[in-house]
Amino acid sequence: MSRVRTAVLVSGGGTNLQALIDAKNAGKLPHVEFCAVISSRSDAYALERGEKAGIPVFVAERKGNTQEAFEKEILSILEKEKIQMIVLAGFMSILSEDFVKRYPRRILNVHPALLPAFGGKGYYGLHVHEAALARGVKVTGATVHYVNEIADGGEIILQKAVNVEPGDTPVTLQRRVMEQAEWIILPQAAEMAANEILSQ
Ligand code: GAR
């Protein structure tokens, strides 16, 4: 059976990477093969999760490098590992137009809101949940979408809604959105995207 060689790009705790690893181990990603975890930070806990799962891990440091040098480093890893699909799982850097144009419908991102609400530049991590609470929305959620040259603007693959509860803080809301939406729809979307690649 053929599988799509996939890289997961991370920057932090890596709970979405863990959800992908767990889904793989549970047999839910038959057409996805994780061949690289690439972190933009050398101290990301996600690197330990990747190592523990036996996936080759790499660091392409964002800090102290130009966008060009940073992307060149990532591209050289992707090429060496013959990567066909890229999953941004808590990856906190925006990729340039030049970069994303090399992988049309081959890069997925998970975003912690129901796009197009609370998306674009400046909306990442806890900031997204702070903004949702400040606006007083009663329902939020997560989105998995293809990445194009517009930040958080690519075609939506899957979304899942999550209720905001009275007394929520950005931290409690982030946790619920991860548990009830992100960790579920990210693996599902990865398998869907891999199937599309294999059908071409
Ligand atoms: C997740 O909530 C993810 O959706 C978000 O950062 C968190 C990373 O957690 N990503 C973005 O905001 C990207 N714009 P993780 O490292 O535990 O997966």
For 48-97, the pLDDT digits (tens) are: 999 999 999 999 999 999 999 999 999 999 999 999 999 999 999 999 99
Ligand 1 pocket member 120 (CB < 6 A): no
Q: Give pLDDT tens digits for 129-180.
A: 999 999 999 999 999 999 999 999 999 999 999 999 999 999 999 999 999 9
Residue found by looking up tokens 């038959």 in the block: 30
**Distance (Å, rounded) from C-alpha 29 to C-alpha 22?**
10
DSSP code of residue 159? E
Where in the sequence numbering do the catalytic residues fall? 111
Question: How confident is residue 118, by pLDDT bands cut at 50, 70 and 90?
Answer: very high
Probe ligand 1: pick from 22, 45, 110, max atoms within 8 Å of CB? Answer: 110
Number of domains in the chain: 1
Which alpha helices (DSSP H) does the chain contain, by range?
A: 15-25, 46-52, 67-80, 97-101, 126-135, 170-177, 183-198
The atom number, within ligand 1, closest to the CA of 18 reads: 18
Tell whether ligand 1 has an atom less than 6 A from the beta carbon of residue 178: yes
At 154, which CATH number?
3.40.50.170
Which residue out of 22, 111, 150 has the highest number of ligand 1 atoms within 8 Å of its CB and is therefore the one to mutate? 111
Q: pLDDT band at residue 1, thresholds of 50, 70 and 90?
A: low
Token readout for 134 is 């400040």
* Ligand 1 midpoint to CA 22 (Å): 17
CB-ligand 1 contact for 187 (6 Å cutoff) = no
This prediction has a pTM of 0.98
Ligand 1 contacts CB of residue 110 (under 6 A): yes
| pLDDT at 197 (0 to 100) | 98
Centre a 10 Å sphere on the Cβ of residue 31 and count the other Cβ atoms it contains: 20
5 C-beta neighbours (distance < 10 Å), count = 18
Which atom of ligand 1 is closest in space to residue 11's alpha carbon?
Answer: 16
Question: Which residue range forms the structural domain that includes residue 17?
Answer: 4-198
